[in-house]
Structure 1
Amino acid sequence: MAQTKPSKNTIKFRCFWKTTTIYEVLKGRQWVETESELDWDFFWSDVGWMYEFFDHIHLADHQRFNHFRNYYELTRKDFLIKNLKRMKKTLEKEDKLEEAVNYNFVPQTYALPAEYGLFVEKFKKTPGVWIMKPVGKARGRGIFLFTRLNQISEWKKDHRWRSENPQVENYIVQKYIESPYLIGGKKFDLRIYVLVLSYAPLKAYLYRSGFARFTNAPFSMKKEDIANKLVHLTNFSIQKHAPTYNSKTGTKWPLHNLKMYMITKHGEAQVNELFHDIRSLILRSLLSVQNIIIQDKHCFELYGYDILVDKNLKPWLLEVNASPSLAADTTQDRDLKYGMLDDVLTLVDMERRLPTQTSLQVGGFDLLVDQGTAEGNLKTVPSPFTYLGCYNDREKQLKQMVKAQTASA
C-alpha cells in the first residue's frame, strides 16, 4: 500500500506491547492507533514481526520502526563478546594498543559449545566461581553459578548438550565478579538507556536517568549461597519472589540517588570518573558493531544496558537488551519510563519539530556521539564529564526548546 507523509495530527501508530508504558506514551501524544499490518507511520514492535515481514516489504521514507535488522550483533550475549574481541584485535593490529586496552570491560568469557575446550583449559588455571548464561534468554532464566567442572558435566547431561549437536542451546560462560560494590551489604547492577538513531554515521543519545537494581538478600560468596539466585541475580523477575520483597518500594534506586550516595563516600572526582568510564564503555560497545549493524533510515533502537560496578569502582558490561522491560512495578518506575519514552519519540521526530542541527540535549537525553558533525566524528569519548546520573531537567529543557522554536518561527 502506498504511504503518504502524515501531518502532525494524523500519525498512525502500531504497538505490540499494549500493557506497558510505551503504549501509554503513544496514546498520550494523541497519535492514531491502527491494527493494519503495513499502513502505519510508526511501529513499536517485538523482533518477531521484523523476522517475518521486514525483508519482504517496502517502507515509505517517513515510516519508522524500533529495531535494526541485525540488532542481535549487540544484544545477543555471545555475539556481543565476539564483536568486542574482534574490535580489540583490530585495534591491536593497527598498533592502537592504548585504545585496545580500553576494551577490557567484560569478564573473561567463552562461547559454548564452540569454545568449551578453551574454557576447560582456562578453568583449570583459574578456578573459582563462574557463571553460565543462555545467549538468547532474558530475566535471569537459565543462569546458574558453579565452582566445579563436574557441575557442567551434570548440566550437559540434563540438557542433552553435545558440541556436535546443531540444535543445542548456546551459552556463554564467564568468570564471576566476586567483589561487587555493595550498598547495605547487597549487590546491585545498573540499567542505563541508550537511543541509537543511526549507525552510519553513528548517532546516539544517553539518558540521564536510570536505576540500580538490588537483590533482596545480602551478598555472600559462601559455598552454601552460590546457588541462591536471590543473592547473586538482580533481575526483578527473580527478586519479586523473595520473601522480603516489598511491592511498594520495589528493588530499584534512582541512578541520581546512587550517584549522590557514592559521592558522599568517595568524592565527586572519583565518582565522576566512574560515570565517565560507563559512558566510554557504552560508546565503545557501539563502535564495535558500527560496521556490522545494517544501517536503515527506517530504524532506530532503544537499548537497555546492564552494568555492574565492582568494589574498585570499575564498571563491567554484563549485557545489552534490545527489548528492555517497559512495564512499571512502582509509580517512580513508571514516571521514569514514561518520560524517557516520550523523549525517545521526540528524538525520532515524527512530527518534524526538532531543529535541523544536532541537539546536544533533548528532554532527558544527552548526545553521546554524532559522527555526522565534525566535533562528533571521534573514535573515543572526547570529554571527561557526563550528565549520566545527574539531575534530570527534561521538562525544563523541553519548554526551553519549544520557546526557542517559537521565537525563531
Structure 2
Amino acid sequence: MGAFLPSEEEWDFLWCDVSWLRENFDHTYMEEHVRICHFRNHYELSRKNYLVKNLKRFRKQLEREAGKLEAAKCDFFPKTFEMPSEYHLFVEEFRKKPGITWIMKPVGRSQGKGIFLFRKLKDIIDWKKDGVRTDEQKDETQIETYVAQQYIENPYLIGGRKFDLRVYVLVTSYIPLKAWLYRDGFARFSNTRFTLNSIDDHYVHLTNVAVQKTAPDYDPEKGCKWMIQQLRQYLTAKHGAGSVEVLFADMDNIFIKSLQSVQKVIISDKHCFELYGYDILIDRDLKPWLLEVNASPSLVASSQEDYELKCHLLKDTLHIVDMEGRLTGKEKRVGGFDLIWNDGPVSREGNLGAPVNGNFMANTHLGCYNDRKQQLKQLFRTLSAQQTA
C-alpha cells in the first residue's frame, strides 16, 4: 500500500508503506494534529536481526535489574544468529547440537522469500560462498543479511498440519508505552501435512499465504485460515480453559516484552502510531514462540471473512488514532481493540495500571467474542452525552 497525499502541501493523515517513510519522513514538516502510520525507526522491532539484538539486550538488562526469573520471561524467541556477522558464534552453537534443524531467513524480505531449512554445515558454507547475495547484488560488495534460527521441530499440529498465528497490536505511544491488542486474528495453516523428513518442502514448513496459495492442490474457497476464535475454542475443548488461559497470557507477555525491548530506542513521535502484525508459533507443549513482527502487515484479503476482519481492524485503528478528537483518552476498549498497556499493565476492572496482585486480570480478550459494533455504538453515544451535558 503506497502513500495517498491529497495535495503536496496540505494533509492530516498519512497511510504509507515503510519505503515511502524512509525516503520522505525527514524532509516532511508535520502540523500538530497530523498523524502518520509508522514510527521513524520502526525497523528496530520489525527487522529480524534488530529484533534479536534488542531482545538479547533487554533480557540482559532484566537479569541485571530484576533477576533471572524476570529475564526468563524473554525466553520466547528461538536461538538466533545474525549472518554473516555472527557466523563463527553460530558454528560453535551448531556443533553443540548436531542433527537439529535450522532455518535461514533474509532480514529484509517477506512472504517467505529467500527462506530455507538446513541440517548440515555444508549447506550454510555453500550459502556463505555463493548464495549470500541476491541477484541484484551479485555485482555489488554489499552482502544480504540473514538470520539463522533454531527451527521449532515440535510445532502444535491440527489435522497433521503446522500453523502460526497473526495477531494485531496497535502502539500509539512509546514514551509512555501505550499498546492495544485486537480481539480478532487468524491461524495460517500449511497446505501439506507436517514432517521433518522433507525439509526442502516449503508447503510443509512455511505458513505464509503467499507461499501456500502456489501449492498445486491449494483450494482458494477452502483457504488455509482459521479465525483465532475458532482456534481458541478448539484448544479449550482439547486442553481445558485453564491451559488455554495460560497460553494466551504467555502471548500477552510476548507482546509487552517485545515492545519494552525497543521502548528506549524507538524515536517516539506524537505524530506516529504503528499497527504491528505479530507472527506466533505454538509448540506441542502449548508454549508460544515469537517468529517475527511486521510493521506493514498485509491488508490483502484472501476470503470474505478475512476482508471483514481487515476492514474492521482498519476502522478501529482509525477510531483510536481519533483524528476527530472524540475520545477522552481514558478508554480501555475501542471497538475490537483492548488497551493492554498504559505505562503499566491495564486491569479489566478498576483503574488503569492497577497493581498486579492475586486478583489482577489483564485487560486482554484475544480470541474472545468481538461485539465491536455494539461497543462502538455504546461508546460514542456515551461520549456524545458527556459532551452535551
Q: TM-score, normalised by structure 2?
A: 0.92
Determine the C-alpha separation between the residues in 1 that align with 2:150 and 2:2: 37
Deviation at 1:168, TM superposition (A): 0.5
Greater CA deviation, 88-97 or 176-185? Answer: 88-97
Give the alignment of 1:117-266 within 5 angstroms: 117-127=88-98, 128-159=100-131, 167-222=142-197, 225-266=198-239
Hey, what does 2:333 align to over in structure 1? 361
In the alignment, is the contact (CA less than 8 A) between 1:371 and 1:378 conserved in 2? no
State whether structure 2 residue 32 is matched by structure 1 residue 57: no
In the alignment, is the contact (CA less than 8 A) between 1:272 and 1:385 conserved in 2? no
Determine the C-alpha separation between the residues in 1 that align with 2:109 and 2:168: 19
State whether structure 2 residue 46 is matched by structure 1 residue 86: no
When residues 379 and 234 of structure 1 are mapped into structure 2, their CA distance, relative to the original with a 3 A threshold, is farther
Identity rate of aligned residues, in percent? 53
State whether structure 2 residue 18 is matched by structure 1 residue 47: yes
In the alignment, is the contact (CA less than 8 A) between 1:239 and 1:245 conserved in 2? yes
Hey, what does 1:314 align to over in structure 2? 287
State whether structure 2 residue 315 is matched by structure 1 residue 342: yes
Matched letter for residue 280 of structure 1 = N
Deviation at 1:66, TM superposition (A): 0.3
In the alignment, is the contact (CA less than 8 A) between 2:39 and 2:268 conserved in 1? yes
When residues 263 and 45 of structure 1 are mapped into structure 2, their CA distance, relative to the original with a 3 A threshold, is same
In the alignment, is the contact (CA less than 8 A) between 1:105 and 1:281 conserved in 2? yes
Q: Secondary structure at the match of 2:31?
A: coil
State whether structure 2 residue 353 is matched by structure 1 residue 376: yes
Determine the C-alpha separation between the residues in 2 that align with 1:334 and 1:40: 27
Hey, what does 1:16 align to over in structure 2? 2
Determine the C-alpha separation between the residues in 1 that align with 2:372 and 2:132: 51
Per-residue CA deviations over 1:311-355 (Å, capped at 9, x if unaligned) read 00000000000000001011000000000110000000001111x
Per-residue CA deviations over 1:19-62 (Å, capped at 9, x if unaligned) read xxxxxxxxxxxxxx754234210010011222222112221001
Per-residue CA deviations over 1:201-246 (Å, capped at 9, x if unaligned) read 1001000000000001000011xx1100000000000000112211
When residues 100 and 160 of structure 1 are mapped into structure 2, their CA distance, relative to the original with a 3 A threshold, is closer
Hey, what does 1:289 align to over in structure 2? 262
Greater CA deviation, 52-61 or 324-333? Answer: 52-61
Hey, what does 1:74 align to over in structure 2? 45
Determine the C-alpha separation between the residues in 1 that align with 2:34 and 2:355: 30
Determine the C-alpha separation between the residues in 1 that align with 2:355 and 2:179: 13
In the alignment, is the contact (CA less than 8 A) between 1:273 and 1:384 conserved in 2? no
When residues 160 and 188 of structure 1 are mapped into structure 2, their CA distance, relative to the original with a 3 A threshold, is closer
Q: Secondary structure at the match of 2:19?
A: helix
Deviation at 1:109, TM superposition (A): 0.6
Deviation at 1:385, TM superposition (A): 6.7
Matched letter for residue 191 of structure 1 = R
Deviation at 1:250, TM superposition (A): 1.3
Backbone CA RMSD of aligned residues: 2.1
Deviation at 1:308, TM superposition (A): 0.1
In the alignment, is the contact (CA less than 8 A) between 2:163 and 2:187 conserved in 1? yes
Per-residue CA deviations over 1:165-192 (Å, capped at 9, x if unaligned) read 9610001001100000000000000000
In the alignment, is the contact (CA less than 8 A) between 2:164 and 2:281 conserved in 1? yes
In the alignment, is the contact (CA less than 8 A) between 1:40 and 1:63 conserved in 2? yes
Determine the C-alpha separation between the residues in 2 that align with 1:95 and 1:114: 30
In the alignment, is the contact (CA less than 8 A) between 1:276 and 1:385 conserved in 2? no
In the alignment, is the contact (CA less than 8 A) between 2:170 and 2:181 conserved in 1? yes
When residues 260 and 131 of structure 1 are mapped into structure 2, their CA distance, relative to the original with a 3 A threshold, is same
Deviation at 1:378, TM superposition (A): 7.8
Per-residue CA deviations over 1:128-185 (Å, capped at 9, x if unaligned) read 1000000111100000000100011122222256xxx961000100110000000000
Per-residue CA deviations over 1:4-28 (Å, capped at 9, x if unaligned) read xxxxxxxxxxx727xxxxxxxxxxx
Determine the C-alpha separation between the residues in 2 that align with 1:385 and 1:126: 40
Hey, what does 1:6 align to over in structure 2? none
Hey, what does 1:407 align to over in structure 2? 385
In structure 2, list runs of 5 or more residues that go unmatched. Answer: 134-139
Matched letter for residue 269 of structure 1 = G
Deviation at 1:297, TM superposition (A): 0.7
Hey, what does 1:389 align to over in structure 2? 367
Matched letter for residue 45 of structure 1 = C
Q: Secondary structure at the match of 2:286?
A: coil
Q: Secondary structure at the match of 2:187?
A: strand
In the alignment, is the contact (CA less than 8 A) between 2:181 and 2:364 conserved in 1? no
Q: TM-score, normalised by structure 1?
A: 0.88
Q: Secondary structure at the match of 2:184?
A: coil
In the alignment, is the contact (CA less than 8 A) between 1:272 and 1:386 conserved in 2? no
Determine the C-alpha separation between the residues in 2 that align with 1:176 and 1:291: 30
Deviation at 1:309, TM superposition (A): 0.1
| Matched residue count | 375
In the alignment, is the contact (CA less than 8 A) between 1:186 and 1:214 conserved in 2? yes
